[in-house]
Structures are given as C-alpha cells and as structure tokens.
Amino acid sequence: MLHDQDLVSVQEVRTKVDKAYAAWQIYKRFTQEQIDAVVEAVAAKGRAHARRLAEMAVQETGMGNADDKFAKNMLCTDLLPRYIRGMKTVGVLREIPEQRITEIGVPQGVVAAICPTTNPTSTVFFKSIIALKAGNAIVLSPHPRARQCTCTSAALVAEAVAEAGAPADIVQCITTSTLDATQALMKHPRTSVILATGGAGMVRAAYSSGKPAFGVGPGNVPILIDTSADLPQAVARVVSGKSFDYGTVCSSEQTVVAERSLRDRMLAEFKARKAYLLNDAERAAVEKTLFTHGTTVRPECVGKSPQVIGQMAGISVPADASILVAEIAGVGKEHPLSAEKLSPVLAVLFTDSFDAATDACEAILHFGGLGHTCVIHAQNEANVRRYGERVSAFRVLVNTSAPQGSVGITTGLQPSMTLGCGAIAGNITSDNVGPQHLINIKRISWAIRTPEEAMPPSPAVTAGAVDKSALVAAVERYLAQKGLSVSNPAVAAAVAAALPSAPPPPAPAVRPVLRDTVSGVVDRFLSKKAQEEPVAGPSCGCGVKTAEPQPESTPAASKPAAIPAPKIEISDFVCEADVREAIARNKKIFISPKSIVTPSARELASRDEILVMAER
C-alpha cells in the first residue's frame, strides 16, 4: 500500500501531541519532589548512555567527533541537572510578606522541541530535562538526517520517566519527521510553547506559528585579543574552542581581531598549536568550498575535520592540524570568511587600535551574529568593560573558549544549549534558556492600601484651597529647569494671573484643578505670552527683559510687567552625546517632526523625557 509520507507524519504528530497532552493532565499535578525525582532519573539515564549516543550521532550525521559530542551529552545530563537542582518551578515559589504577594509556578503544557542535526542527542536531553523540570510534557521533532540517534535518545528519556513513576507518554518523538510534520507540531492547538533549534528558516517558522517560541539567531562570534592578554594562553583557548566538535556549536569562535602589533607573535602561537595557516590562494579555495550563494555554508562542509575540508578544497592539510586559519582584510560580503562557518575554519583580522578592533567586532556581529556571543582576552579590566559596553552581544565572555564559556562549562552562566539573542535579533529572550522560561507565574496579591493612599493629592492642592505659595515655589523650580531665573514677585504675579480668582469649588469639583499641573499652567502661560509682542529693552541679568525707560512726559504703562517665553532653539539633529550633555546641564532638547534623532539618543532621552516636540 502506498502512503503519502507527509500525511503519515502529520497524523503521527496529531496522535503524539494528544498522547503527551493526556499524560500531562496527570504530570501537571506532580509535586516539586516528584518532578525532581523524574529529572534526576532522566539525567542518570543520559549519563549512562552518553558515550554510545555520541558515537551514534557522529556515525549517522557525519558531523563533529565523538569525544566532543560526549562532552555535550555530559553538559546536559550532569552539569545542567546540578545547576537546576533545588530550583523551584511548581507550587509556591516564594512569599513577599511586605507586599502580601504569593508567587506560584504553573506549567505551560506541551512543549514542541525542534532538534538540530549538529547536536542531535545532547539537545534531546537538554530540552527534555528543562521541560520536565518545569512540569511540562514534550514532543521532539528530529532532523531527518539525525532521526535514529534522536529517537534513540528520546526513547531513553521516556524509559527513565516511566521508571521514576511518571506517565511515559509525557515524552514523545516523531519518527517520520518531515517539514509538514514540524509545521503541524508547532501549530497544533495543544502545543503550548516551542523550543526551536535549527537554521534561520526554522526559527522564523517557529516565531510565525502563532505560539510562544524560543528560537535563537546565528552565532557569528568575534574574539578580540587585547595587547594586555596572555597571548599564548589566549591563542590556546581560541584553538580549543574553534576545534571543539569541529565548529558545530553556534557559539564557536569565527573571527579573531587584534592590533597589528601582535600579528607576528600571534601567528607564531597559532602555528605552535598545530593551526594550519592558509596562504592567499588556499584561502580563496576554502572560501569557494565552504560557501554557496554568498555566505551560506554548504551542508556537506558543516562539522567536518580540517583535513576533510582541505581535501574538498584541493589543499594538502597536515594530519595533525587542529584548525585552518586565514587572514582577512575586512568584514562583509567581500570577505566571506568573516561570516559564520560552522567548521574548524578561523579568520583573523588585524587593526591599528583597540577602538578599531572593537568596531570590527561590532561589524562582525552585525554581519550575521547580532545579540549572540563575543569574547575578549585581556588583563586590562577597563578595556574589558569598554568592550562589553560597546558590542551588540548578550554573552560577553572573558578569557575563555567561546563554546565552553557560552554554554556554562567554564563560566557561571546557566548551562544551556539554547542561547537567546534578544530583541535586536528578533528573539524573545537574551538569556541562556532554562526551566524558568517554561513556566508561568501566578500571583496571589492582597490589598495593602487604598486608592487615596496610593495616589495622594498634589501638595499644592488641599481639600478646598489652593496654596499659592506652594505653587510659586513649584513654578520657580519648573522655570529653572527651562533655564530661566525670575524674581519671586514676578512669579507670584504670573501664578495669580493664571489661577481662577473666585473661591475654589467644593471638593468633588476640585478634580480639574488637580489635573491642572504646574507644568501645564506655566506652559500655557508662556505660550500665551509668546504670541504677544516682546517688550524691548536690555536684560537685567536675571533672564527677564525690562522695559525701556519712558520719558517723564509719557505716562507709565498700565500693564504689569510680563514674563516672556524663553527663546526655543529647535535641533535638526540629535545624537547620544547631545542627550548626555542635556542631562548633565538639566536642559531640554527641542525638536520638530523633521528633526533627525539617532536611535541611541532617543532611547537615552526617553528615561528623563529630555526631548520636547515643538512646532517651527
């Protein structure tokens, strides 16, 4: 009998999601102690089979090497469980007595877990453990080229779950994985949240599925080696990270940037660590071999050894070569090796200064790694801070190999195989994803104050009277913020003219006065005066113009002296430095709809409301 593979796989998805959902109805009632026992059982099962599964993954996918895949399996079944041991995820998480709030962890439901071909077994244990720790069920979707090792790993997880006393059906794995099946899994009505690991297309599909999704962007990781670094140690760490599992980890080193003064010593250190330095012709051959359609990595090159890549490029690479190193002259499409390479091929770029090196690292992140990871090797802590504040990455690693540091092996970061890149990369989080991202938090909150206590009346307005002296002081402070200094009698006259002369109405009708803030009164007053003819005359030095002396035969003006509106200068262009200066001087910056404001300036100004829109 002939079968339509897509239809078969979609039906399998529907069946297995329903099974996972039914099992979750039981599992979601488990206590924290019961859930922790399930997680420990899964972790123990994974450790027991970590070596065998690593060898299966290499044999089936042809990517990476068994030793490093074993290390990734152990990261997820040993280091991760130890890190989350004791973490509360269900039931009462904490009490906040002073606010009378109780926080309760609530599982999300069925987790759809998309697994990649680069980390097919470690991802199964990672996603299963964090989903189960959060009280959820999970349905795993293998990559078609890693189906056997992924399904074998999932079967071991289900076996451990059952042995711990939980329903085995809370862990499901699609055996006839197709693109249609993956789409059906992500869009299934009973799928609650998606953990997507894969290419850019897969991540976009997860985010467009209509479900909450944790997907991550590519990791074009730059490494700055500062002049203050321990150079031999820095190069050794770079080679260790770049050669790890033949570059299949998304946070592997991609391009090293350093000042030109370090060039000769650095290249010598690479040679000492068995890195093979490509000449110009060999670099061009490797570029042509690695990429298709610009900077898209050819699948057949992903996770291959330096020797295999050299053979594919027609280059004779020594048998003991650890990585391939190529010097490049810039960043961007004209320099393909400045992109993510998913292989043990490393680019190096030399600049004239620390600032230029930092700018190059920022350009590398914008060329395909925005928000992900960057590294600096340095002893100068001031340079580390400057670098960390400047670059657009949410994991800034210091003096460590990039893969091991980013996933929490050599750093204090949370052990994770899903590394968020934040909103700048279109991701829902910038965190290392863990169980805490797969729960919702319910809050029981008691009343602790009345509305009147929460929002007391303005100090200038009491139960039935307007305190004009308080308003005078408030107006003086407001005008000072605008750069004006006036005498008290002048302010008092302005307040008297702006406020109603009749006695204030009873309390219920006083609400409009409450809304009539000091700034509103003064701004309307200044706006009204700005429409009048300015009074000519010299300045008295207090910010208010005085009238010209009148001849003795001329009667004095009957109008009282008025406070003219301050001169407003509209800025056509505002950058971050302008905003910082305005904050320091306690000034406002006036702009028009046609003014150009840089994004960083607008973000900084929003905190203190520095920018004021004005009409020309």
> What are the DSSP calls for 522-576, one per residue?
HHHHHHHHHTSPPPPS-B-SSS-B-PPPPPTTSPPPSSPP--PPPP-PEEEEE-H
Interatomic CA distance for residues 257 and 351, integer angstroms: 7
Query: pLDDT confidence of 531, banded at 50, 70, 90?
Result: low
Which residues does 480 contact at the CB level (< 8 Å), separation at least 6? none
Cα–Cα dist 143/299, whole Å: 13
284: left (phi over 0), alpha (psi -120 to 50) or beta: alpha
233/186 same-domain check: no
**Which position has the token pair 């010598």?**
268
Q: Is 99 a domain residue?
A: yes
Active-site hit among 115, 173, 250, 361: 250
Residues 241-251, mean pLDDT to the nearest whole number: 96
Q: Do residues 355 and 244 both lie within one domain?
A: yes
pLDDT for res 457: 73
pTM for this structure?
0.75
Q: Which of 221-225, 393-397, 458-462 shows the lowest mean pLDDT across its residues?
A: 458-462
pLDDT of residue 204: 81
Q: What is the pLDDT of residue 135?
A: 98
CA distances from 98 to 95, 421, 445, 448 (A): 9, 35, 11, 9
pLDDT, tens only, 350-371 = 999 999 999 999 999 999 999 9
Distance CA 473, CA 232 (A): 65
pLDDT tens-place string over residues 503-512: 554 444 444 4
Domain co-membership, 118 together with 210? yes
Sequence-distant (6+) residues with CB within 8 A of 406 are: 249, 251, 373, 395, 397, 413, 419, 432
- Of the pLDDT bands very low, low, confident and very high (cuts 50, 70, 90), residue 550 is very low
Residue 273 lies in a domain: yes
DSSP 269-338: HHHHTTPEEP-HHHHHHHHHHHEETTTEEPGGGTT--HHHHHHHHT----TT---EEEE-S-SBTTBGGG
Looking at the fold, whether 299 and 367 belong to one and the same domain comes out as yes
Residue listed under structure tokens 């009074």: 535
| Same domain flag for 388 and 251 | yes
Q: What is the CATH number of the domain that holds 101?
A: 3.40.605.10
HEC letters along 342-371: CCCEEEEEEECCHHHHHHHHHHHHHCCCCE
pLDDT tens string 10-54: 999 999 999 999 999 999 999 999 999 999 999 999 999 999 999
Q: Which residue range forms the structural domain that includes residue 602?
A: 570-613
Q: Judge if 512 and 598 occupy the same domain.
A: no
Residue with tokens 């899994």: 185
List pLDDT tens digits, range 77-119.
Answer: 999 999 999 999 999 999 999 999 999 999 999 999 999 999 9
173 is catalytic: no
Longest dimension (CA), the chain: 117
pLDDT on residue 503: 52
Q: What was the pLDDT predicted at 545?
A: 41
Assigned domain for 13 exists? yes
Task: Look at residue 314 and tell me whether its pLDDT is greater than 60.
Answer: yes
289 and 327 share a domain? yes
Phi, psi angles (nearest 5°) of residue 577: -65, -35
With a cut of 80, say whether residue 165 has pLDDT above it.
Answer: yes
Does residue 550 lie in a domain region? Answer: no
Do 434 and 130 form a contact (C-beta atoms < 8 A)?
A: yes
Residue 524 clears pLDDT 70, i.e. is over it: no
The verdict on 388 and 477 lying in the same domain is no
**Considering only CA atoms, which of 161, 197, 122 is closest in space to residue 19?**
161
How many structural domains is the chain composed of? 4
- The fraction of the chain above a pLDDT of 90, given in percent, is 66
pLDDT tens-digit series, residues 57-85:
999 999 999 999 999 999 999 999 999 99
275 and 198 in a single domain? The answer is no
Based on the domain organization, do 37 and 124 belong to the same domain? yes
How many residues make up the chain in this entry? 616
Q: Which residues have CB under 8 Å from 336's CB, separation 6+? A: 287, 290, 291, 294, 295
- Helix/strand/coil for 255: strand
CA–CA distance, 578 with 242 (Å, rounded to integer): 42
Let me know if residue 565 belongs to a domain. Answer: no
Instruction: Specify whether 199 is located in the same domain as 227.
Output: no
339 has pLDDT over 80: yes
pLDDT of 584 reads: 77
Higher pLDDT, 586 or 33: 33
Co-location of 279 and 205 in the same domain: no
